[in-house]
Amino acid sequence: MKLKIPKIFFENFFEYLYYSILTDYELWDRKYSIIIEPIFFLKIENMKIIDWKFIDECINNKFEISKNRKIIKDELNFSNWSDLDQVLLPISKNIFELDDNPLIYPYQRIETFLFNFLPDNPDLSNLFDGICHFHPTKNANLNKSDYTTIKDIGNIAFNYKKSCFFSLVIATGNIDEYIKKSAESKNNFINYMMDDIKNLSFNARIFFPTYKDKKIGISIF
């Protein structure tokens, strides 16, 4: 059993990743890069991803991805350093990941979608067969928090008459190189990431209402 992923999905995914990386941000008298992981909802038919939507677009119909770097920078500039200490996860010497959190941008995107938007907009469940997120390191395995969150999301999906729910993680370990490319141009970054697809790591799982979840393979077409 394999989850089929169209190549065009990766082009969209890497575009959103490009705008989710803030390079050379001055913090604590040094320059760092900040990454916010893209999160996508997936529409899946016959084990094939046929559509997708960036979560920020689901919870804010005025969201423009091209402005995301400025939003990240502005939010960091106006945040208390004590808050940043709590929400910036170091992933290398000069790179932080800014996770979803209750204190500053990007806040709690999944909770906002599930509890504030989905109940009043049940048609959004049409794009709710799976979820994809990014790990900025080579490790694509679900950590304990990932696993718990995805199981909780799946349980809500089952309330919308889904027979199963998919999780897809995309990860890459070439951190310094793709950060460097993200400082050049969008085209250079996307081309680099597309050329590097063979070196990506994936973790795909399928969850069921009553059966144990299991890992599945992926194929790219």
Task: Dump pLDDT digits (tens) for 22-45.
Answer: 998 998 889 999 999 999 999 999
Check: CB of residue 3 under 8 Å from CB of residue 203: no
Q: Which residue has the tokens 């939003």?
A: 71
Checking if the pLDDT of 173 tops 90, the result is no
Can you tell me the mean pLDDT for 108-112? Answer: 95
CB 131 within 8 A of CB 39: yes
Q: What is the 3-state secondary structure (H, E, C) of the chain?
A: CEEEECHHHHHHHHHHHHCCEEEEEEECCEEEEEECCCEEEEEEECCEEEEEEEHHHHHCCCCCHHHHHHHHHHHHHCCCHHHHHHHEEEEECCEEEECCCCCCCCCCHHHHHHHHHCCCCHHHHHHCCEEEEEECCCCCCCCHHHHHHHHHHHHHHHCCCCCCEEEEEEECCCHHHHHHHHCCCHHHHHHHHHHCHHHCEEEEEEECCCCCCEEEEEEEC
C-alpha to C-alpha distances, 187 to 8, 19, 49, nearest whole angstrom: 14, 12, 24
pLDDT tens, position by position, 175-204:
999 999 999 999 999 999 999 888 899 999
How far apart CA 48 and CA 36 sit, in angstroms, is 26
Phi first, then psi, for residue 70 (nearest 5°) are -65, -40
Q: How far apart are CA 84 and CA 76, in angstroms?
A: 8
Instruction: Tell me the average pLDDT of the chain.
Output: 93
Q: Is the distance from CB of 98 to CB of 134 less than 8 angstroms?
A: no
For residue 9, the model assigns a pLDDT of 98
The angle formed by the CA atoms of residues 61, 185 and 34, to the nearest 5 degrees, is 65
What pTM does this model have? 0.93
- Output the pLDDT for position 171: 95
State the average pLDDT over residues 194-215.
Answer: 93
> Which pLDDT belongs to residue 25?
93
The mean pLDDT value for 140-154 works out to 92
Domain range annotation of the chain: 2-220
Q: Output the pLDDT for position 141.
A: 94
